[in-house]
């Protein structure tokens, strides 16, 4: 597994979200300049086979245009203004994976958390696995695999990359593992970072969130005994809860406002 220095790793969620500039290059540049150790982003594929960064299935929420990304060409996607809802920013298109990786080469210590968002749902299998393989090929071509976490809510995609690449990459899963859906490989055999999600399976078999986002300490203890690093997500919101999980051994904090979280961590001697 990845061995970190004795500090908390700050992961900037989609670059940052609070200014309405998520998954843009300006967002990534700003948070890295501020001191973020890792950036998390979401990769999808356009209909003409280009890899772009967008959390949602469509551009509706975060840009000035509408439409599903899988139905758009790269040119159409890049014509969207991803800072449309933000104050004080000029036109900025949503980013591409290539742009982020070019930026990562300029920052060799930057850690990458790459979430695969095109899932192999019925009827979408070929598209999803094509997207998955293209992402892997691009990451390998840039030589960033040793500082990249492959991340997905769909365990089949994690398995697909692991079967192909083994431990050239690191792997980010979601705990409890049932969140990942059916898998043929035990997640604990290859996943080295677990994002803590307080969820349960209902009587109908649905994965449901508890009202309280803080997971039990026993879950952290179990994973740490297995040598798996725990990551706490932006859903915690309250700083005392982050502090508590850090006292339990959580080593990565993923946050929507990396500037404020960095200030908090530094004030408490938890970040450089």
- 39 beta partners: 12, 112
DSSP 84: T
Q: Is the distance from CB of 41 to CB of 15 less than 8 angstroms?
A: yes
Report the candidate in 28, 52, 30 with the shortest Cα–Cα distance to residue 40: 28
Helices in 145-228 by DSSP H: which ranges?
A: 155-165, 217-225
Residue 41: which H helix or E strand, with range?
strand 38-45
Active site residue 55: yes
Phi (first) and psi of residue 69, to 5 degrees: -65, -35
Enumerate helices (H) and strands (E) in the chain, giving the number of each: 8, 11
Residue in 13, 50, 198, 255 annotated catalytic: 13
DSSP 216: P
Quote the CA–CA distance of 59 and 69 in Å, as a whole number. Answer: 7
The two three-digit tokens of residue 199, written as one number: 């969820």
Q: Is the distance from CB of 216 to CB of 197 less than 8 angstroms?
A: no
Residue in 50, 55, 198, 271 annotated catalytic: 55
Active site residue 198: no
Q: Is the distance from CB of 42 to CB of 263 less than 8 angstroms?
A: no
C-alpha of 64 from chain center: 24
User: Residues with catalytic annotation?
Assistant: 13, 55
């Amino acid at each position: 597994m990845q061995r970190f220095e004795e500090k908390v790793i700050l992961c900037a969620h989609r670059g940052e979200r609070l200014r309405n500039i998520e998954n843009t290059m300006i967002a990534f540049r700003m948070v890295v300049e501020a001191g973020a150790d890792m950036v998390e982003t979401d990769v999808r594929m356009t209909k003409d086979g280009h890899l772009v960064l967008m959390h949602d299935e469509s551009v509706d929420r975060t840009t000035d245009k509408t439409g599903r990304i899988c139905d758009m060409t790269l040119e159409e996607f890049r014509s969207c203004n991803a800072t449309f809802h933000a104050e004080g920013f000029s036109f900025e298109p949503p980013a591409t994976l290539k742009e982020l990786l070019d930026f990562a080469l300029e920052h060799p210590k930057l850690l990458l958390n790459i979430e695969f968002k095109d899932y192999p749902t019925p009827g979408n299998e070929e598209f999803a696995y094509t997207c998955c393989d293209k992402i892997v090929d691009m990451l390998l071509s840039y030589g960033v695999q040793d500082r990249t976490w492959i991340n997905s809510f769909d365990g089949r995609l994690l398995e697909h990359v692991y079967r192909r690449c083994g431990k050239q990459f690191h792997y980010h899963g979601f705990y409890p593992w049932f969140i990942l859906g059916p898998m043929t490989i035990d997640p604990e055999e290859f996943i080295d970072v677990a994002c803590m999600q307080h969820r349960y399976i209902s009587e109908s078999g649905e994965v449901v969130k508890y009202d309280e986002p803080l997971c039990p300490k026993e879950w952290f203890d179990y994973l740490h005994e297995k040598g798996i690093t725990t990551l706490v997500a932006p859903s915690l919101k309250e700083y005392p809860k982050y502090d508590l999980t850090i006292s339990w051994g959580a080593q990565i904090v993923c946050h929507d406002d990396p500037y404020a979280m960095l200030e908090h961590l530094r004030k408490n001697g938890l970040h450089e």
